[in-house]
Amino acid sequence: MPSAGPREGSAVGDRFSDFTLKDLAGQAHSLKDLRGRRVVHVVFWASWCVPCLQEIPAIRQVYAKYRERGLEVLSIALNLNETPEVVRSLASDLKVTYPVLWDEDGMMMRRHKVYVVPQNFLIGKDGIIRYTGVNLPGNYEALVETLLREGGASATGH
Q: Domain map of the chain by residue range? A: 36-152
Q: In the prediction, which pLDDT does 8 show? A: 87
Count the neighbouring beta carbons within 10 Å of the beta carbon of residue 58: 12
With 80 as the cut, is the pLDDT of residue 155 above it? no
Angle at 42 between CA 41 and CA 46, to 5 degrees: 130
pLDDT at 94 over 90: yes
| 45: nearest Cα among 58, 34, 35 | 58
DSSP string, 8-23: BSSSTTSBPPP-EEEB
The mean pLDDT value for 105-123 works out to: 93
Between residues 134 and 80, the one the model is more confident about: 134
In the CATH scheme, what is the homologous superfamily, with its name and number, of domain 36-152?
Answer: Glutaredoxin (3.40.30.10)
Residue 2 predicted with pLDDT over 70: no
Q: What is the structure's pLDDT at 4?
A: 66
pLDDT for 82: 86
Please give the pLDDT value at position 150. Answer: 75
Length of the chain: 158
The per-residue pLDDT for range 22-76, each reduced to its tens digit, is 999 999 999 999 999 999 999 999 999 999 999 999 999 999 999 999 999 999 9
* Banded model confidence at residue 85, pLDDT cuts 50, 70, 90: very high
pLDDT of res. 74: 97
Q: Is 41 left (phi over 0), alpha (psi -120 to 50) or beta?
A: beta
Query: Model pTM?
Result: 0.90
- How many helices (H) and strands (E) the chain has is answered by 4, 8
Start-end of H helices in 10-73 = 50-66
pLDDT in tens, 119-150: 999 999 999 999 999 999 999 999 999 999 97
Indicate if the alpha-carbon torsion angle 129, 134, 139, 144 is positive or negative: positive
Query: Is 139 within 8 Å of 154 (Cβ atoms)?
Result: no
- pLDDT attached to residue 142: 95
pLDDT at residue 129 in the model? 96
